[in-house]
Amino acid sequence: MLGAMMNRPLLISSLLEFAVINHPGTEIVSRRVEGDIHRYRWSDAALRCARVANAITRLGVKPGDRIGTLAWNTYRHLELYFGVSGMGGVLHTINPRLFPEQIAWIVNHAQDRIIFVDLTFLPLLDAVRAQLKTLEKVVVLCDADAMPAGRDDLVCYETLIAAESSTFAWPEFDERSASSLCYTSGTTGHPKGVLYSHRSTVLHAWASLHSGGLNIGRESVVLPVVPMFHVNAWGTPYAAAMSGAKLVFPGPGMDGKSLHELIDAEQATLLLGVPTVWLGLLTYLDSINAKMDSVKHAVVGGSAAPLSMIRAFDEKHDVFLIHAWGMTETSPLGTVNAPTEEVLALPKEERYLRQAKQGRPIFGVDLKIIDDEGQELPRDGRAFGRLMIRGPWVASGYYLQKDSPLTDGWFDTGDVATLDAGNTMQIVDRRKDVIKSGGEWISSIDLENIAVGHPAVKEACVIGVPHPKWDERPLLLVILKDGASISKEELLGFVGKSIARFWLPDDVIFVMELPHTATGKLFKLPLREQYANHLLKQVS
């Protein structure tokens, strides 16, 4: 027997309509690609979203068609988020950090009909354009007077939407309809497309607002440094529309100086980004001896943050660094280590260790850890196994790919983790990066985070390499800070203080650079190949 409740679909357009009726005056501030600061309100944004929907409808876009973007976090990208998905189109956010050949591949795979591009990324698009089979139109996200000269093949965004009506009747449709598409930057094989739905997007926003999630409310000033071109800036544009939070978009200004200016001018309260970005910000603030006053919380995800970063945020800026964990396939929020009174009352160093965990699932997310035979492992904070996830904003498959990635309805995250009795999750390592030494496991992430805590170390990478006796042993690769120097022995002595003896890397190699994926994560595959014989040689 069904209940007798209204069948109102959960649609992205309803987020926009809610924002414009309930907090029309709330600001959206952007650093533009042109360099200046742009500010307007949801009441202005709504009119331009409607113009976008009318413009692409006139260009023949039908519900379900894919529309690409190559763009920074700005108000124009926001307009495409709501305008394209709202009319039923599928917003395909393209990560400009992918290799050009990957970009060509995913645009063709997605069959994008139109691409909206920031001036910054036009050369990137031009370089692959001849390969793009389905692309009909390129729209440049800039004012008419900033358009490149002599390019009849390009359309100006402002000119395009100026010609349209600022009202649009947002259609109602099945909430499971596709809303957006984001490709994972896999380290092997072709990228895989994660196809979000209106339902998954709205539910994810609801769950993220809670104080056990990102704690976003009407008084929040949210600055997502995490890009709108990857996993929807962790859903913050939707969460802001739902909650009435002020949005501050950094545009292309993701360096420490630009971010600090924006944080200070707009009095941001909540920042979201990856460790690399925070490292840049903290380093810059140190260099000018400045403190962030308005910021209460910074969320870190993408990779684990080292203890030294958690400590620096707290001691220098009185900011609680919140670990969050998720992936493209999970929309992305899976767990959040939101502050609790219990944790805030702990002695500092103990508190930092708690903050280093990835946190608790937000409601909607089920987690379990399993062994290699698929048996569930206990939630005791010690047993670690393959982290499996399930929930209404978790991918059930990939775009145009028939094989299901699921096992009994669960998605394998590729991470190895522990869960404690309160379901707090801590990542041990990526499954492919975990080091198996003489039957025991060693976490490359833990070793990297300890090494990077040394003042001379700029970046650290630990890989497992073949060893004749122990199967695999850890090898530590480090980039030193400019002008710093340290011996292998000193560094191993530093690392050795915090770990069990058998975790100590067998060797240290000083390098000038380390390879990264398009989303900024360490790319260890080529390193494992390069150093495959390193310990075999030493021993022989």
Active site residues: 184, 329, 436, 441
| 471 touches its own copies (CB under 8 A) | no
Residue from 54, 215, 258, 358 in contact with its own copies (CB under 8 A): 215
Residue from 393, 470, 503, 531 in contact with its own copies (CB under 8 A): 393
| 234 touches its own copies (CB under 8 A) | no
| 219 touches its own copies (CB under 8 A) | yes
SS3 at position 411: strand
Total residues at interface with its own copies (CB under 8 A): 72
H/E element holding 161? helix 157-162
Residue from 242, 272, 451, 495 in contact with its own copies (CB under 8 A): 242
SS3 at position 463: strand
| 409 touches its own copies (CB under 8 A) | yes
Q: By C-beta, is 111 or 187 nearer to its own copies?
A: 111
Alpha carbons within 13 A on the beta-carbon side of 15: 32
Segment near its own copies (CB under 8 A), from 91-99, 135-143, 193-201, 472-480? 193-201
Q: By C-beta, is 406 or 479 nearer to its own copies?
A: 406
Place of tokens 């059930």: 396
| 8 touches its own copies (CB under 8 A) | yes
Q: What letter represents residue 194's amino acid?
A: V
| 165 touches its own copies (CB under 8 A) | no
Least CB distance from residue 87 to its own copies, whole Å? 14
| 399 touches its own copies (CB under 8 A) | yes
Segment near its own copies (CB under 8 A), from 1-9, 32-40, 267-275, 315-323? 1-9
| 5 touches its own copies (CB under 8 A) | yes
Segment near its own copies (CB under 8 A), from 33-41, 194-202, 247-255, 526-534? 194-202
| 4 touches its own copies (CB under 8 A) | yes
Q: Are 300 and 321 in contact (CB under 8 A)?
A: yes
Q: What is the dihedral of CA 482, 434, 447, 423, to 10 degrees?
A: 120
Q: How much is the CA Rg of the chain, to the nearest whole Å?
A: 24
Q: Which among 452, 447, 379 has a CA at the least distance from the CA of 417?
A: 379
Query: Residue 487: CB partners within 8 Å, gap ≥ 6?
Result: none
In whole angstroms, what is the distance from residue 34 CA to residue 184 CA?
29
Q: Which among 193, 213, 194, 218 has a CA at the least distance from the CA of 203?
A: 213
Q: Which residues pair with 116 in a beta bridge?
A: 69, 139
| DSSP code, position 375 | P
| 86 touches its own copies (CB under 8 A) | no
| 113 touches its own copies (CB under 8 A) | no
By CB under 8 A, the residues from 413 to 432 that bind its own copies are 421-423
| 232 touches its own copies (CB under 8 A) | no
Residue from 90, 114, 231, 508 in contact with its own copies (CB under 8 A): 90
Give how far Cα 482 sits from Cα of 265, 312, 459, Å. 31, 20, 12
Residue 188 CB neighbours (<10 A) = 6
Concatenating the DSSP letter of every residue in 378-392 gives P-SSS-EEEEEEEST
SS3 at position 238: helix
Segment near its own copies (CB under 8 A), from 3-11, 32-40, 256-264, 503-511? 3-11
Q: By C-beta, is 148 or 409 nearer to its own copies?
A: 409
Q: Which residues pair with 475 in a beta bridge?
A: 463, 507
Query: Residue 44: CB partners within 8 Å, gap ≥ 6?
Result: none
| 131 touches its own copies (CB under 8 A) | no
Segment near its own copies (CB under 8 A), from 315-323, 396-404, 452-460, 526-534? 396-404
Place of tokens 């992936």: 327
Residue from 83, 250, 326, 391 in contact with its own copies (CB under 8 A): 391
SS3 at position 428: strand
By CB under 8 A, the residues from 260 to 319 that bind its own copies are none
Residue from 22, 108, 498, 530 in contact with its own copies (CB under 8 A): 22
Q: Are 114 and 135 in contact (CB under 8 A)?
A: yes
Least CB distance from residue 127 to its own copies, whole Å? 30
Q: Are 165 and 49 in contact (CB under 8 A)?
A: no
Residue from 34, 174, 371, 440 in contact with its own copies (CB under 8 A): 174
Least CB distance from residue 8 to its own copies, whole Å? 4
| 323 touches its own copies (CB under 8 A) | no
In whole angstroms, what is the distance from residue 117 CA to residue 399 CA?
23
Q: By C-beta, is 123 or 422 nearer to its own copies?
A: 422
| 162 touches its own copies (CB under 8 A) | no
Q: By C-beta, is 2 or 169 nearer to its own copies?
A: 2
Segment near its own copies (CB under 8 A), from 189-197, 369-377, 429-437, 513-521? 189-197
Q: Are 438 and 471 in contact (CB under 8 A)?
A: yes
SS3 at position 471: strand
Give how far Cα 460 sits from Cα of 3, 186, 447, 450, Å. 56, 21, 9, 9
Q: By C-beta, is 210 or 260 nearer to its own copies?
A: 210
Place of tokens 């003042």: 455
By CB under 8 A, the residues from 339 to 378 that bind its own copies are 340-341, 360-361, 363-364, 366
| 336 touches its own copies (CB under 8 A) | no
By CB under 8 A, the residues from 23 to 82 that bind its own copies are 23-25, 63-64
